């Protein structure tokens, strides 16, 4: 009887730790996604990112969201999938930085269009 209770307790702990890892991965992915979206919008407002650059960056963000949807198809994001999404987010972050620090600037009249 005590062995059954022990195995049940171990199983419960294993399921709980897996769920917590999933929540942490998902939260980190969502947080970075929101921050990158804010960086793109701030660059548009300041004129550092042109309209065409913003379209490219937003298309890149959409590809990352598609990666995330594909990873969540089975209900959770495993380590390999999280690493793939993290790498795509790192690439997107570098791309946002490059576009906002290049010499292309939006004119005052076309910052919002």
Nearest to 29 by CA among 84, 75, 103, 74: 84
pLDDT of residue 36: 97
Nearest to 108 by CA among 40, 50, 57: 50
> What are the Cα distances from residue 6, in Å, to 11, 18, 19, 30?
9, 19, 20, 36
Range with the poorest average pLDDT among 6-15, 63-72, 104-113: 6-15
Q: Average pLDDT in the 24-53 region? A: 94
CB 36 within 8 A of CB 89: yes
pTM across the whole model? 0.73
Three-class DSSP category at 104: coil
- For residue 77, the 8-state DSSP code is -
pLDDT tens for 45-69 read: 999 999 999 999 999 999 999 999 9
Exposed / middle / buried, residue 106 (Cβ in 10 Å: 0-12, 13-18, 19+): buried
pLDDT tens for 66-88 read: 999 999 999 889 999 999 999 99
Q: Which has more confidence, 14 or 64? A: 64
């Amino acid at each position: 009887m005590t062995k059954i209770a022990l195995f049940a307790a171990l199983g419960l702990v294993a399921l709980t730790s897996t769920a917590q890892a999933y929540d942490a991965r998902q939260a980190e992915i969502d947080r970075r996604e929101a921050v990158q979206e804010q960086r793109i919008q701030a660059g548009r407002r300041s004129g550092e990112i042109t309209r065409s650059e913003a379209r490219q960056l937003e298309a890149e963000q959409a590809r990352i969201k598609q990666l995330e949807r594909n990873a969540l198809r089975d209900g959770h994001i495993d380590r390999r999938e999280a690493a793939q999404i993290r790498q795509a987010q790192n690439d997107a972050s570098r791309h946002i930085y490059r576009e906002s620090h290049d010499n292309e600037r939006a004119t005052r009249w076309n910052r919002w269009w």
